[in-house]
Amino acid sequence: MAFENFAAFIDMGGYAAWVWTAYGLATVALVGMLVVSRRTLKARTREFEEMKANRK
């Protein structure tokens, strides 16, 4: 463990703003991609099923 306590961990040696923004944005980006991709997949699957049903 590189930090003495939780406050030091949050403070990041005075660079909290930079470090946490970087990690925050990275999380948003990765989770965002995951959510968007899954949503399109679901929407497409639904569209395809509907199309199949209509054709029959």
Partner 1 sequence: MHKFANPTQFMRIANAIYPWVAGICVLLFAAAIPIALMFSPPDYQQGETVRIMYIHVSSAWLMMMIYGIIAANSAMFLIWRHPMANLVARASAPMGAVFCALALITGMLWGQPMWGTFWVWDARLTSTLILFFLYIGYIALADAFEDSERGDKAAAILALVGSVNVPIIHFSVEWWNTLHQPSIIKASKEGVDSSVHSSILLPLFLMMGAFTMFYFALLVLRLRSELLAAKIRNARLSQIAGHSAAQPAE
Residue numbers of the site for partner 1 (CB under 8 A)? 1-3, 9, 12-15, 18-19, 21-23, 25-26, 29-30, 32-34, 37-38, 40-41, 44-45, 47-48, 51, 55
Query: At closest approach, how far in Å is the CB of 20 from partner 1?
Result: 10
Output the smallest distance, CB 7 to partner 1, in A.
13
H/E segment holding residue 28? helix 16-55
Residue 36, CA distances (Å) to 8, 16, 22, 25, 40 in order:
35, 29, 21, 16, 6
Judged by CB, which is closer to partner 1: 1, or 7? 1
* Cα–Cα nearest to 53, from 3, 37, 38, 45: 45
